Amino acid sequence: MKINFIDQHGIFHSNYDYSKAVQISRELDFDLVRVTTGIGCIYKLVKLSSPQVAVASIKKVKQLTLKPRIFKNDYINYLAKIKRLVSKGFIVKVTIRQLGREITKADILRAFSNAFIIDVSKFAVILKQALVQPGCFIVMVKGMVNGSKN
């Protein structure tokens, strides 16, 4: 099969044998990546991270849902669960969701989410916080490294 490809220096090669392009990419420790699709598709030699580094950098994400109307003991247990997951190396995505008529009361969600962020930031780092839609607030949390926020 003949292909068009761009090498690591940006030079365009047309009607090149696919097996030779793959061999060149392996010799140079590059990946042969399809850039365009269709009849005249173009491949490019790209330096991607090694598979071992890519697999090691993938984080595990746990998703939890929380409602602003929660009892104090349940809230404390919920924080302990987040702390346990974060200490095991998980990234925790917490969705704070209002239901029914609560959605119209944005001040309740705002006050609860601010208090939640303050409580969680004592033992974890806040990666992201966003109001996704009315009544739905998302917080992403990861653990601290050696007791300091990184």
Q: What is the pLDDT of residues 70-106, one digit of tens each?
A: 899 999 999 999 999 998 888 899 999 988 877 778 8
Q: Which domain holds residue 75?
A: 59-143
Q: Say if residue 43 is in the same domain as residue 114.
A: no
| Residue 116 confidence class, pLDDT cut points 50, 70, 90 | very high
Contact between 4 and 16 (Cβ < 8 Å): yes
Q: Would 149 be classed as within a structural domain?
A: no
Contact between 87 and 107 (Cβ < 8 Å): no
Contact between 114 and 73 (Cβ < 8 Å): no
| Residue 59 confidence class, pLDDT cut points 50, 70, 90 | low
pLDDT tens per residue, range 126-148: 888 888 888 888 898 988 765 55
Q: Say if residue 81 is in the same domain as residue 107.
A: yes
Q: Say if residue 47 is in the same domain as residue 120.
A: no
Q: Would the pLDDT of 53 be above 60?
A: no
Buried b (16+ CB within 10 A) or exposed e, 90-101: bbbbbebbbeee
Q: Say if residue 110 is in the same domain as residue 89.
A: yes
Q: Say if residue 138 is in the same domain as residue 78.
A: yes
Q: Would 110 be classed as within a structural domain?
A: yes
Q: Say if residue 9 is in the same domain as residue 75.
A: no
Q: Say if residue 136 is in the same domain as residue 70.
A: yes
What is the total count of domains within the chain? 2
pTM of the model: 0.57
The residue assigned the tokens 């030699």 is: 45
Q: Would 148 be classed as within a structural domain?
A: no
